[in-house]
Structure 1
């Protein structure tokens, strides 16, 4: 993935995620940007349509400069995907931690059965991504990791097609990424 910044636009080259508006290459203009997070890993820009696009971490300064120059607000937001994918980390959590995670998901408008369905749908994919591949991530898995897995990174080639149409899957991941505690 490569990103270049112009005066009033961001050009994405080699954007790997099927279903994205910038796949495999595309441009996002300032009026299309809602906010950005140059502290997140990886860096994020969010469009007015609610699509989260990723920027390589090595471009932190360039993204920050671009956003300040164009009055694109900095916004750190809770990561619902970090909470949804927590069971696929190579670690264990205290009961208190699990309760906190469930509370954040509930505050984001996700019912317990909905969370179970989402995790069930993603179990083969995320187990292959983190465990079978021997990635063994134990700190954090989020939307970027899910999209990498869904696009065939570190997983057997027969797994991504089980998720259904890539464009519909991508839209589903983005709609859930827009869910935040207190905003159902």
Structure 2
């Protein structure tokens, strides 16, 4: 992933997530940006179309400056995918934590059976990513990790192909990312 900031646009010379509007390369102007969060662990831009685009960590200051220059608000929001992908962390989740996670998801409009269906669909991919690829993440897996797993060359291509059309899968992940309490 590569990002460059200019006076009046953000250039993505290499964006690795298939299905993204800027894949494999593209440009985003301030008019297309709804908000951003340069303080997030993975700095992100949210477009007016509801797409989350990520910026490398070393671009935090440039993203902040760009947003200030163009009057783009910083909005921090919960990562719904962090809650959905919690079972795939390299840690034990106790009953109280799982209950709190399901309560947050319910607050974002997810029924218990929908959560189970999403997790079941993604289990082979996320297990291969976190354990098979030896990421061993034990604190947080989120949207960035999901997109990385769906595109990483170290993941079995058959697992990625099982997700379906990359553009359709990407759009689905963005729709879910927009569902916050």
TM-score normalized with structure 2 length: 0.98
- CA drift of 1:157 comes to 1.9
Could you list the structure 1 runs, at least 4 aligned residues long, displaced by more than 3 angstroms after superposition: none
- Matched residue, 1:168: 168
Distance 1:121 1:150 in 2: 12
Distance 1:99 1:130 in 2: 23
Cα RMSD after superposing both structures: 0.8
Distance 2:152 2:63 in 1: 27
Q: Contact 1:128/1:154 (CA < 8 Å) preserved in 2?
A: no
- Matched residue, 1:50: 50
Equivalenced residues, count? 181
SS at match of 2:157: coil
Seen in structure 2, the aligned counterparts of structure 1 residues 140 and 154 have a Cα distance that, compared at 3 Å, is farther
Q: Contact 2:90/2:138 (CA < 8 Å) preserved in 1?
A: yes
1:142-184 Cα offsets, whole Å, 9 max, x none, are 0000001111343112210000000000000000000001xxx
SS at match of 1:12: strand
Structure 1 unaligned blocks of 5 or more: none
Q: Contact 2:82/2:141 (CA < 8 Å) preserved in 1?
A: yes
- Matched residue, 1:21: 21
SS at match of 2:60: helix
1:76 equivalent to 2:80? Answer no
Seen in structure 2, the aligned counterparts of structure 1 residues 71 and 58 have a Cα distance that, compared at 3 Å, is same
TM-score normalized with structure 1 length: 0.96
SS at match of 2:83: helix
